[in-house]
Amino acid sequence: MARRAKKYVYYFGDGKADGTGKMKDLLGGKGAGLANMTNLKIPVPAGFTITTDACNVYFADNKTYPSGMWDQVLANLKKVEKSMGAKLGDAKDPLLLSVRSGSKFSMPGMMDTVLNLGLNDTTLKALIRKTGNERFAYDTYRRLITMFGSTVMGIDRQVFEDALDKMKEKKGVHLDTDLSAEDLAELVDEFKKIYRKKTGKNFPKDPLQQLRLSINAVFDSWFGDRAVTYRNLNDISHDLGTACNVQAMVFGNMGENSGTGVGFTRDPSTGQKRFFAEYLINAQGEDVVAGIRTPLHINEMKRKLPEAYRDLDRIYKKLEKHYRDMLDIEFTVQDGKLYMLQTRIGKRTAAASLKIAIQMVKEGLIDKKTAIMRIDPDLLETLMHPMIDPKANVSILAKGLPASPGAAVGKVVFSADDAEEAAAKGEKVILVRPETSPEDIGGMDAAEGILTARGGMTSHAAVVARGMGKPCVAGCTAVNINEKRKSFWVDSTTIREGDVITLNGSTGEVIVGEVPLVAPDMTGDFNTIMKWADEIRDLGIRANADTPTDARMALKFGAEGIGLVRTEHMFFEEDRIQAVREMILADDEEGRRRALKKILPMQRKDFIEIFKVMDGLPVTIRLLDPPLHEFLPKTDEELRELAREMGVSFKKLQARNKALHEFNPMLGHRGCRLAITYPEIYEMQVQAIIEAACQVAKKKVKAVPEIMIPLIADVKELTVMREMTVRVATEIEKRYKVKIPYDVGTMIEIARAALLAHTVAPEADFYSFGTNDLTQTLYGLSRDDAGRFLPYYVEQGIFDDDPFMTIDQEGVGLLMKMAIDSSRKIKPNMKMGICGEQVDPRSVDFCYRVGLTYVSGSPFRLPVARLAAAQATLRRKNPKKYAPESIA
């Protein structure tokens, strides 16, 4: 008996597609949504989905379809023809098709689409006879040649757009809808000539050939530059593949009783519970999404097409109730009848994400745990984005649509390439475009904000900017752009490349010059979500903070203690660097102690202020870590100036600087090695810490210092340092007659210390993993130099991620787990954390799974860590319900 071919094609409604899990993996988000709507008896044009498996086999087999796939396509095409009562290529009643991509995760505009497939000179005549609308038929044909030529054959779309603009200019009209049937027929002939000139071939007449080539183009677009860039930016796997959706066309360009639109079931910018949609009369979907025409508010559809609007209102509410989430939908009205073309979970700003989650809990659609899992932790950082200072006097140049909230200041650039180039130099830029396209994704990511002259609230620029958390002003029609001259003007004001403007994405204002920005007020919905997250999470959250100001900021963002105070940052302060340099230049211990005596009151004061802020909370203080030469100037000119200031000879200073020089300071005389050689340095620091704790204790402030010894490789180093710490602390406690609850621990940042952690544990009250140095020593590379090649490694797929941005779970993570497990056998309740700034969601999830007590990062990253920790807890306790899609 012959083996049955694997199923690669699913007719809409085949099986149960719930938009999640394996069906979403196979059908992609768009295909699963179409299948789902079909099962819900919502009007969806007939069609079928070619699975992501087929795409992956296609690439694995050198761009060859898997066995049986094409036969399945033809069999399902017959089902579509039967359902629609028309046939592909038929000379009497032709069926036209759309071919669209659709991956598991939404990638708006990043992959390819071909509409109106199946037209040729024969079916064109049949379409005219069938509809009695010659203008519509020619408009549809010119759209097919444009999309097929640019998407499938790689012709620059602008060539077709230029020809269209010339025709409009020739006929003295502004919009393409003003062109007559005769004008469009002439344009079709011109487009065919362009196609032949650019490809050396005639436009294909065989609809099945058009279909096969279009499927190829959709599959190929998975590895197109813009799609790869988008996945890299959004941490989406390159192995997923895209599905391909083949669907009967319905036409929004049949006249004044037809149209097309895009909408969100709630406001994607603010989260407000209102239908947020736009549409265009006599248009196809690409016109709305690409921003080719500025669309109308959905209320216009309510007025002009009331019956279709009533259906749309009923359907979007039904879909939102079914999915229990805010949705992004696409629809077309053909001759007064509504059809749904897409539904998927809608992209939204951070603020909207919080508001929608809270609203849906109140409405009983979801519970608090589901609400927490709905929010992308990384997106929370965009809430920290500045806003325009309400007290500032501004000169408003123009006003467009408030497409993505927040404020941005930067120099104007007019191309994505220029934005990327400028950003690479550290410049802040605003990308100004007539409208953005998927090719602009890299420049949009590099820019501080985006301004477009065309497009609406659901245009490519708006949707992508909201997903990125970038301020965007779209559809600013007062802005006239001259890309060749790299300038734009509004009335009599001209803005040239390099001029500074400010965007207010919350109001749509474009402002001349640089306007002062202020930090946002983190209250309301933010506090509610953080409260829910804190109720759920089991992982502690601390902050890296070196000053009282940092400490106050840490508390504001929910820190439960300080996981790292870097004392060397205090040494660099202007009022003490002189004493530090005296200590370094001293010829003997006595000289060093004299200099350290000057530093002692300054260090003590630092710790007093931090202890006051953190009253009752733990404060982990890392003793001096960097090598001494870092405190000395680098150039001879700076050394001469320092010699004059200190009253020492330049030659002595130069000789000392040379003596301190190391070929590889990262692995040199630093950390505990410095204190083994010069114990008086750490003695002074411990004295400052314990004296500060005693002094605040007298004022009823509870100090909880955790004294951390950096860079140990052997337990004996920690033993020596612990004995010194206890000796100094005991002397001070006796003098002040105060008992301080201090701990002595170490950083695990050398591979040997991690491997031998079981020998270190008896001497340590706590561990903090220094993931930066642990990564450097394990990889054998310098973080400061690796920036030259690490991006290339990630781009080439050698490394999945930059190991300094997210913990390398296979290597560094393995060492961490070995250290944790071996130490907990000796001290089951030992405190352990990380302090290397890697508090991205995946790293937080890993830290929770391997049993760390807390994670510590910069104050502004703490909301991300708190939410990620709550999500990690939910995933661990209920892995089936809360699958780790976002951290896979």
Banded pLDDT at 289 (limits 50, 70, 90): low
Check if the beta carbon of residue 655 is closer than 8 Å to that of residue 697. Answer: no
Nearest by Cα to 563 from 719, 663, 704: 704
Task: Give the pLDDT confidence score for residue 883 in this predicted structure.
Answer: 65
Backbone angles phi, psi at 208, to 5 degrees: -70, -35
Report which secondary-structure segment, H or E, holds 334. Answer: strand 327-334
Task: Give the pLDDT confidence score for residue 795 in this predicted structure.
Answer: 76
- Per-residue pLDDT, averaged over 579-608, amounts to 90
Check if the beta carbon of residue 461 is closer than 8 Å to that of residue 403. Answer: yes
Backbone angles phi, psi at 854, to 5 degrees: -155, 165
Q: What is the CA radius of gyration of the chain?
A: 32
**From CA 611, how far away is CA 788, in angstroms rounded?**
40
> Is 886's pLDDT higher than 50?
no
- Per-residue pLDDT, averaged over 442-469, amounts to 83
Distinct helix (H) and strand (E) counts, the chain: 35, 33
Nearest by Cα to 249 from 46, 40, 29: 46
- Per-residue pLDDT, averaged over 103-114, amounts to 83
> What is the per-residue pLDDT across 337-370, written as a single tens digit (0 to 9) for each?
999 999 989 988 888 999 999 999 999 999 999 9
Grouping H, G, I as helix, E, B as strand and the rest as coil, residue 64 is coil
Residue 130, Cβ density class (10 Å: 0-12 exposed, 13-18 middle, ≥19 buried): middle
- Per-residue pLDDT, averaged over 724-742, amounts to 97
> Is 490's pLDDT higher than 60?
yes
Check 385, 460, 694, 847 and give the catalytic one: 460
Q: What share of the chain is helix, strand, coil (3-state, %, to 5)?
A: 50, 15, 35
- Which pTM does this prediction carry? 0.78
Check 472, 476, 835, 847 and give the catalytic one: 835
Task: Give the pLDDT confidence score for residue 656 in this predicted structure.
Answer: 81
> What is the per-residue pLDDT across 859-874, written as a single tens digit (0 to 9) for each?
878 999 999 999 999 9
Catalytic residue list contains 835: yes
> Is 132's pLDDT higher than 60?
yes
Catalytic residue list contains 297: no
DSSP labels, 141-196: HHHHHHHIIIIIT---HHHHHHHHHHHHHHHT-SSGGGS-HHHHHHHHHHHHHHHH
- Per-residue pLDDT, averaged over 309-314, amounts to 97
Nearest by Cα to 49 from 313, 199, 246, 298: 246
Report which secondary-structure segment, H or E, holds 239. Answer: none
**From CA 219, how far away is CA 508, in angstroms rounded?**
37
Q: Which has the higher per-residue pLDDT, 790 or 736?
A: 736
**From CA 567, how far away is CA 538, in angstroms rounded?**
29
- Per-residue pLDDT, averaged over 181-210, amounts to 95
> Is 651's pLDDT higher than 90?
no
Banded pLDDT at 848 (limits 50, 70, 90): very high
Grouping H, G, I as helix, E, B as strand and the rest as coil, residue 668 is coil
User: What is the phi-psi region of residue 108: left when phi exceeds 0, alpha when psi lies from -120 to 50, beta otherwise?
Assistant: beta
**From CA 872, how far away is CA 849, in angstroms rounded?**
8
Task: Give the pLDDT confidence score for residue 16 in this predicted structure.
Answer: 56
> Is 406's pLDDT higher than 60?
yes
Task: Give the pLDDT confidence score for residue 787 in this predicted structure.
Answer: 66
**From CA 413, how far away is CA 443, in angstroms rounded?**
10
> Is 321's pLDDT higher than 90?
yes
Q: How many residues would you count in the chain?
A: 888
> Is 647's pLDDT higher than 90?
no
Query: CA separation (Å) from 296 to 69, 283, 291?
Result: 41, 12, 12
pLDDT averaged over every residue in the chain: 90
**From CA 158, how far away is CA 143, in angstroms rounded?**
13
Task: Give the pLDDT confidence score for residue 887 in this predicted structure.
Answer: 33
Q: Which has the higher per-residue pLDDT, 718 or 577?
A: 718
- Per-residue pLDDT, averaged over 462-483, amounts to 85
CB atoms within 10 A of CB 706: 24
- Per-residue pLDDT, averaged over 766-791, amounts to 84
- Per-residue pLDDT, averaged over 723-747, amounts to 97
> Is 707's pLDDT higher than 60?
yes
CB atoms within 10 A of CB 590: 9
CB atoms within 10 A of CB 615: 13
